């Protein structure tokens, strides 16, 4: 009768022990590499913005990106995107929401492409559970795009929105500029995030061979635009526990995997929120918590025309 309770208690003790015995040096290195990856992605987005707004400071754009990225741990990836384009809209007076959304699409194109490459590499080392988007979803997206294109010809407001969206896509309309000024930062950001994950694996004495890092990255949903099943800490731990032995070629410590699944998001969320609050305070010039909250609320889009 008490066997399940004893088993659960033993598992909890093993998990607590794995967390307590994590190597601090590897954790610090992992956090530093993760932050460096966010900075690299920030400079990439800054180059995308500069294609449409040439006078923009790269450091300013990077600060907006890092500020938004830090909030993804408590909001969502889309919530973090809203924060950063809200900061951009606040200072780029001539920027519109569709144009800023276009810059996110440019950045997301690399994330999608690199995510697909990682997925294919993971499948190559025997990781299962990954599926291509359903044909119905692809057909729906194509149909929606066709409908929008047809409506844009009939609606002045939609035509204006599409025109603004094209402004945000300026970086990809100049392939040479994109390859020279955007792509290197994006590649560096992806590699730094993979290196960060490798350090997290080492912190819990888990295998950190390249195949393991790629498999863990895909399983955790680093390429978050891909339809990878599973969400939440428990699901991530279960997925890693199933995938890591396949990629490593030998069994792994279940307690260490659980500790990784708990510690990694917790540490990165804490660091991200701290950085974001500091940056937001500086960017909006808030001196009191009330002023900071008011400024944060003002970042939300206002549904009054295209440029509101």
Could you tell me the residue ranges of all domains in the chain?
A: 3-297
Specify the 3-state DSSP secondary structure of 209: coil
pLDDT for 33-57, tens place per residue?
999 999 999 999 999 999 989 989 9
Contacts of 37 (CB under 8 A, 6+ apart): 188, 189, 190, 191, 192, 193, 196
Residue 183 pLDDT exceeds 70: yes
Of residues 261 and 143, more confidence is placed in: 261
Element (H, E) at 235: helix 232-248
Q: CB–CB of 208/202 below 8 Å?
A: yes
Q: Please state, rounded to an integer, the average pLDDT across all residues of the chain.
A: 79
Please indicate, yes or no, whether the overall pTM of this predicted structure exceeds 0.75: yes
User: For residue 65, what pLDDT band results from cuts at 50, 70 and 90?
Assistant: very high
Nearest to 254 by CA among 206, 195, 200: 206
pLDDT for 228-244, tens place per residue?
444 455 666 777 787 88
Nearest to 51 by CA among 111, 106, 113: 106
Specify the 3-state DSSP secondary structure of 184: helix
Of residues 62 and 261, more confidence is placed in: 62
70-79, 81-90, 272-281: least confidently modelled range: 70-79
Residue 29 pLDDT exceeds 90: yes
The confidence score (pLDDT) of residue 34 equals 96
């Amino acid at each position: 009768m008490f066997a399940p309770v004893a088993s659960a208690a033993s598992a909890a003790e093993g998990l607590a022990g794995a967390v307590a015995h994590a190597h601090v040096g590897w954790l610090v290195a992992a956090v530093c590499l993760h932050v460096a990856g966010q900075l690299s992605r920030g400079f990439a987005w800054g180059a995308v913005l500069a294609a449409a707004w040439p006078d923009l400071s790269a450091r300013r754009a990077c600060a907006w990106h890092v500020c938004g990225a830090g909030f993804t741990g408590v909001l969502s990836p889309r919530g973090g995107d809203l924060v950063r384009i809200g900061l951009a809209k606040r200072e780029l007076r001539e920027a519109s929401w569709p144009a800023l959304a276009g810059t996110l699409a440019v950045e997301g194109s690399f994330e999608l492409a690199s995510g697909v490459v990682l997925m294919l590499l993971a499948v190559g080392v025997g990781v299962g559970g990954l599926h291509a988007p359903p044909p119905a979803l692809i057909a729906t997206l194509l149909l929606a795009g066709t409908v929008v294109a047809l409506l844009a010809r009939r609606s002045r407001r939609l035509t204006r929105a599409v025109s603004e969206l094209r402004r945000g896509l300026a970086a990809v309309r100049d392939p040479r500029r994109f390859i020279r000024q955007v792509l290197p930062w994006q590649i560096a950001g992806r590699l730094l995030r993979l290196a960060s994950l490798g350090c997290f694996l080492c912190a819990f004495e888990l295998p950190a061979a390249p195949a393991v890092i790629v498999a863990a990255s895909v399983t955790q949903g680093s390429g978050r635009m891909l339809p990878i099943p599973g969400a939440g800490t428990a699901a991530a731990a279960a997925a890693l526990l199933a995938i890591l032995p396949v990629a490593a070629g030998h069994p792994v410590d279940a307690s260490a995997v659980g500790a990784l699944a708990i510690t990694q998001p917790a540490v990165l969320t804490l660091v991200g929120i701290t950085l974001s609050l500091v940056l937001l305070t500086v960017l909006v010039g808030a001196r009191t918590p009330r002023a900071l909250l008011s400024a944060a609320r003002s970042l939300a889009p206002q549904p009054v025309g295209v440029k509101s």
